[in-house]
């Protein structure tokens, strides 16, 4: 017979029962959680073992239940989702830690080889070849364009999401409702690029028929560089726009904490002979990936990119990741509220329009406790429905700007899309993409953890 429990022990037991049922893993007991329960590691292990003996995997516990803390309403409830079960799987980071990359790995790789490696990583966790290739197309494009934060650097996140079944690598999007020029899509929790390509292709089709196509989706995942989708329309001679919401990382002007994502906006417009205007920008000072890249290199970040957890501007990349990013413009004095407004605008078209998650409701960055349910929007506009000569005027304006006398002779005036074009040319001249050695060592370990061929 069990001995009588104190009220505190009873509460601990009830709460742990629910946690163990919902999560089936003591791993989920964070240090903070243990503290709240007044348990040390040993107590936790023995309590979990005792409780496991009465745990039935077939139990019909609702995983979406909010489990109250034993400390009552003063603490946040813990959200247990269906996908919490995925924490039973070995973590990729643990698997990677078993390997040490050899010295002297090359830092330059052919574009096709990087693509092959990415596809192999994704298929190794069960993604169909075509979906893996769609993702690799976007990630390789990011690296070729010089946006290293959104290429190879981001691959492990997608691998993890699919491995942990928090994103469905097999899923195909479906149309929920549509008119001649609009559609609402459900991404069905598929890979972001699979959903994004589907939506933009639908918007392009509608734009060719009616002049404009506007497609919103919910149920999507991280889709990579927003420019990939706007450029897809521009390749067809159309103006393209794409926006996505993302995990809350950006603090509204005057706030200490994040409430909005880095919510990128991309608008592309065709110029003459493929010389296109491609604006592709986060609505914060820099995308979080750029801070991650600096952290990977153990380098400081410039002042004005991020605030620390106390709301103070920081130059420490790790502190910046723990605090919040600043909206485009930075502090209020530098009109940061305009970037804040643009971030809200993205949400109007994404989470709010599509009925997906929005703002602070989007799951936390790199969390895999539940589906992302991101909102995204894609617009295609046919300029031939308006005044003739769009491409001529577009090129004329871009060339006017480029030909202006620069303030610094060594830095010619550019237009949006030029820095990326220059980077693509450099990759072509170099015969491959050059990465930081830390990135290469990390990718080597990921290959070993997944049992696939590293990049050669």
Ligand X SMILES: NC(=O)c1ccc[n+]([C@@H]2O[C@H](COP(=O)([O-])OP(=O)(O)OC[C@H]3O[C@@H](n4cnc5c(N)ncnc54)[C@H](O)[C@@H]3O)[C@@H](O)[C@H]2O)c1
Give the binding site for ligand X (CB under 6 A): 147, 150, 222-227, 244, 246, 262, 264, 266, 278-282, 286-287, 290, 414-417, 419-420
Cα gap 234→277, rounded to integer Å? 9
Smallest distance, ligand X to C-beta of residue 277, A: 9
Cβ proximity to ligand X: between 16 and 140 the closer is: 140
Cβ proximity to ligand X: between 169 and 339 the closer is: 339
Cα gap 371→171, rounded to integer Å? 13
Q: Rg of the chain over CA atoms, in angstroms?
A: 24
Full DSSP string of 415-453: -TTHHHHHHHHHHHHHTSEE--HHHHHHHHHHHHHHTSP
Cβ proximity to ligand X: between 82 and 421 the closer is: 421
Cα gap 50→47, rounded to integer Å? 5
Cβ proximity to ligand X: between 77 and 360 the closer is: 360
Cβ proximity to ligand X: between 28 and 414 the closer is: 414
Q: Which of 295, 289, 277 is CA-nearest to residue 224?
A: 289
Cβ proximity to ligand X: between 20 and 328 the closer is: 328
Count of CB atoms situated within 10 Å of the CB of 433? 22
Smallest distance, ligand X to C-beta of residue 29, A: 30
* Contact call for residues 201 and 223 (beta carbons, < 8 A): no
Cα gap 284→224, rounded to integer Å? 16
Query: What is the helix (H) or strand (E) element at residue 277, kind and residue range?
Result: strand 277-281
Smallest distance, ligand X to C-beta of residue 408, A: 11
Cα gap 289→267, rounded to integer Å? 21
Smallest distance, ligand X to C-beta of residue 73, A: 34
Cα gap 188→174, rounded to integer Å? 7
Cα gap 9→238, rounded to integer Å? 65
Cβ proximity to ligand X: between 201 and 292 the closer is: 292
Cα separation values, 202 from 188, 189, 414, Å: 16, 18, 32
Cβ proximity to ligand X: between 266 and 441 the closer is: 266
Cβ proximity to ligand X: between 246 and 253 the closer is: 246
* Contact call for residues 452 and 101 (beta carbons, < 8 A): no
Smallest distance, ligand X to C-beta of residue 263, A: 7
Structure tokens at 255: 């706030």
Cα gap 420→417, rounded to integer Å? 5
Cα gap 442→450, rounded to integer Å? 12
Helix, strand, coil percent content, the chain, rounded in steps of 5:
45, 15, 40
Cα gap 317→319, rounded to integer Å? 6
Cβ proximity to ligand X: between 255 and 279 the closer is: 279
Smallest distance, ligand X to C-beta of residue 107, A: 21
């Amino acid at each position: 017979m069990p001995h009588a429990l104190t009220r505190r022990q009873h509460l601990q037991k009830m709460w742990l029962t629910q946690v163990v049922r919902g999560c089936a893993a003591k791993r989920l007991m964070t240090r903070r959680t243990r503290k709240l329960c007044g348990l040390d590691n040993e107590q936790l292990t023995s309590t979990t073992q005792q409780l496991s003996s009465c745990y039935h995997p077939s139990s019909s516990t609702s995983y979406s239940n909010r489990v109250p803390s034993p400390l009552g309403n003063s603490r946040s409830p813990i959200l247990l989702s269906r996908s919490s079960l995925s924490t039973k799987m070995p973590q990729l980071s643990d698997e990677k830690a078993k390997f040490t990359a050899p010295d002297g790995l090359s830092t330059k790789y052919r574009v096709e080889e990087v693509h092959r490696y990415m596809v192999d990583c994704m298929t190794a966790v069960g993604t169909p070849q075509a979906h893996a290739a769609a993702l690799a197309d976007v990630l390789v494009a990011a690296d070729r364009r010089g946006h290293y934060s959104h290429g190879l650097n981001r691959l492990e996140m997608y691998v993890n999401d699919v491995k942990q079944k928090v994103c469905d690598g097999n899923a195909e999007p479906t149309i929920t409702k549509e008119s001649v020029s609009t559609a609402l899509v459900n991404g069905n929790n598929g890979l972001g690029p699979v959903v994004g390509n589907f939506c933009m292709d639908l918007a392009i089709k509608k734009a060719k028929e009616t002049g404009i196509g506007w497609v919103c989706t919910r149920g999507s995942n991280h889709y990579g560089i927003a420019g990939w989708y706007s450029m897809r329309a521009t390749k067809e001679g159309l103006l393209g726009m794409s926006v996505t919401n993302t995990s809350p990382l950006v603090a509204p002007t005057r706030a200490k904490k994040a409430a909005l994502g880095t919510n990128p906006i991309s608008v592309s417009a065709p110029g003459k002979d493929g010389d296109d205007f491609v604006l592709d920008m986060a609505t914060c000072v820099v995308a979080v990936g750029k801070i991650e890249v600096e952290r990977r290199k153990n380098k400081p970040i410039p002042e004005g990119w991020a605030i620390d957890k106390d709301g103070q501007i920081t130059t420490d990349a790790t502190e910046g990741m723990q605090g919040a990013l600043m909206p485009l413009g930075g502090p209020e004095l530098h009109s940061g509220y305009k970037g804040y407004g643009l971030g809200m605008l993205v949400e109007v078209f994404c989470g709010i329009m599509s009925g997906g998650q929005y703002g602070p409701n989007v799951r936390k960055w790199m969390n895999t406790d539940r589906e992302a349910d991101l909102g995204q929007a894609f617009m295609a506009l046919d300029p031939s429905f308006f005044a003739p000569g769009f491409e001529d005027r577009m090129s004329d304006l871009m060339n006017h700007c480029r030909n202006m006398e620069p303030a610094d002779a060594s830095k010619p005036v550019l237009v949006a899309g030029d820095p990326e074009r220059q980077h693509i040319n450099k990759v072509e001249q170099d015969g491959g993409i050059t990465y930081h050695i830390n990135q290469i060592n990390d990718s080597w370990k990921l290959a070993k953890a997944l049992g696939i061929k590293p990049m050669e």
